[in-house]
Chain A
Amino acid sequence: MFLVLVTAGVVTLSAQPRRTFTNPRPEPYFKTLFPNAGGFSTFGGTPLHYKVYGVDPKTNPNAPPIGFIFWTTDVVPTDIGYHGPVHFLVGMDTRGVIQNVIMDYNSEPYGYFSVDPPKFVEQFKNKSIRDPFQVGKDIAAVSRASITINHSARVLREATRTMAKTFLRPEDLKQ
């Protein structure tokens, strides 16, 4: 009887709308991603992103962007790790070089020793999106959290390449 009641409770609670997490206010991270930026656009476009400007677009509306900030979960929404997607906020300049990456949220059981430590995202800083992003080659492998690490490397590679193919030209990329 107890088990039936508990099961009924679990099923009822599980039937509630799924809680998905995307940080609605990532602006505090912007200066970490682009310390010298003069301004940022609002969130929009396809895929969803913020444009980064060297000067405040209010003072110079015609200035071209110097980079983009985007969530990997918006650009590659279908890929998941061990228990769900790892939410990375990425800053990429217009030469296809990753300026910085923030690991904002994950529900990975082994996240605490794989993607949570800052040294994981540090290896993507100043990395060209032309690099292979291969775990065990240019990305450090954490063997006992391989599902999480492989997912993270995959979404960072696919998200940056998708953004480049959408908003940049091949000749813009750093050689």
Chain B
Amino acid sequence: MLQPDPWGFEEAPVETWADILAPQYQDIALLSAFIILALISFHRKSVALKYVTFAAAIGYMGFAKSYLISITNIFSVVDWTWPVFKYNIAWCLFFGFTVVSTVLWGRLYCGRICAYGALTQTLDAILPAKMRVDVPYAIEKRASLIKFGILAGVLVYYVATHNVLIYQYTEPFWMFSLLGTPVMWTLLAVLLAATLFVRNLYCRFLCPVGATLGLISFATVFKIKRWSECKTCRICEKTCQWGAIDGPKILVTECVRCDDCERLYADEQKCPHWRIIEYNERKLRVLPLQPVR
């Protein structure tokens, strides 16, 4: 028979899984629902569902929970120090999903899960296209390397100083906490102002987390399927908002699996692949093949 705890502490002397999970059920359930929504929107290539996912990413993942992968998580990998799993199951699920989904599909996190990316992509959809400044391809290609330089620089700085607070001047993700210093708010205002004119500026050129996921994306298992005509046709290159298509190649470090090109490949009215098939079929109908005598 169990003796009553003489200390009178509220909890049972031995912590049970029910005790551990009780405060976490809601977070785990809501995070799982969000991940399922993101995966459905990704697999169905649905524009409407993508914007629903963005709304959930901004509202729940951003402002409610501040669940964003940060450069500080990369510092944690360097230090190999992690939140205790049993007390932070939802966060560990979120981090694990980010890594696994990147290996499976590439920078899906950047294109659909990240609250800041969702915010800037939503801004891009709302703002008139006239405002936009399209970065020349030559500059875009070079500017996309800046984020790798920032990643390397910040990592060297961190290893040398162990000052985790460098993140405040490297990434804007803290904004979802609504708590920053005047310097942080000023830098954010400049960044957001520039983003009004250059779409997804931070994600494409500056984000060290995106750079890290871009490097992991070299291991992507399920790549975007393209047609043989993609070697010469450049329509999708013009469609890509992320500068991720370079002629016959998709640049895995830049592609965030936004679906724009994949929707184009499936569009029988627009994609030359289908137009060529249709043309050949029509030609065959007009000029039916005759047996060779």
Contact = CB atoms under 8 A, between A and B. Distances in A.
B84 A83 contact: no
A74 interface: no
B45 interface: no
Contacts of A13: 156, 159-160
Given A10-B159, A80-B82, A144 B176 contact: yes
A14 interface: yes
B1 interface: no
A147 B65 contact: no
Interface residues of A, number: 39
Interface string B1-44: 00000111111000000000001000000000000000000000
A170 B6 contact: yes
Contact of B81 (A83, A132, A173): A83
Interface stretch (A22-30, A40-48, A49-57, A107-115): A107-115
A99 interface: no
Nearest to A107: B164
Contacts of B174: 109-110
Contact of A145 (B10, B64, B177): B177
A86 to B, nearest CB: 12
Interface in A60-94: 78-84
Contacts of B9: 129-130, 161
Interface in A129-149: 129-130, 132, 135, 143-147
Contact of A132 (B10, B70, B75, B177): B10
Question: Chain B contact residues: over half helix, strand or loop, or mixed?
Answer: helix
Given A143-B65, A144-B177, A81 B83 contact: yes
A147 B76 contact: no
B129 interface: no
Given A82-B83, A161-B9, A6 B176 contact: no
B91 interface: yes
Interface in A100-133: 107-110, 112-113, 129-130, 132
B7 A83 contact: no
Interface residues of B, number: 37
Contact of B66 (A2, A79, A132, A144): A144
Interface in B70-112: 70, 72, 75-76, 78-79, 81-84, 87-88, 91
Contacts of B75: 83
Given A6-B155, A84-B79, A109-B70, 13 more contacts: A2-B152, A10-B78, A10-B155, A10-B159, A19-B162, A82-B72, A83-B72, A107-B164, A109-B165, A110-B177, A130-B8, A143-B64, A150-B87
13 contacts: A2-B152, A6-B152, A82-B83, A83-B79, A84-B79, A107-B164, A108-B164, A109-B164, A110-B66, A110-B177, A147-B83, A150-B87, A150-B88
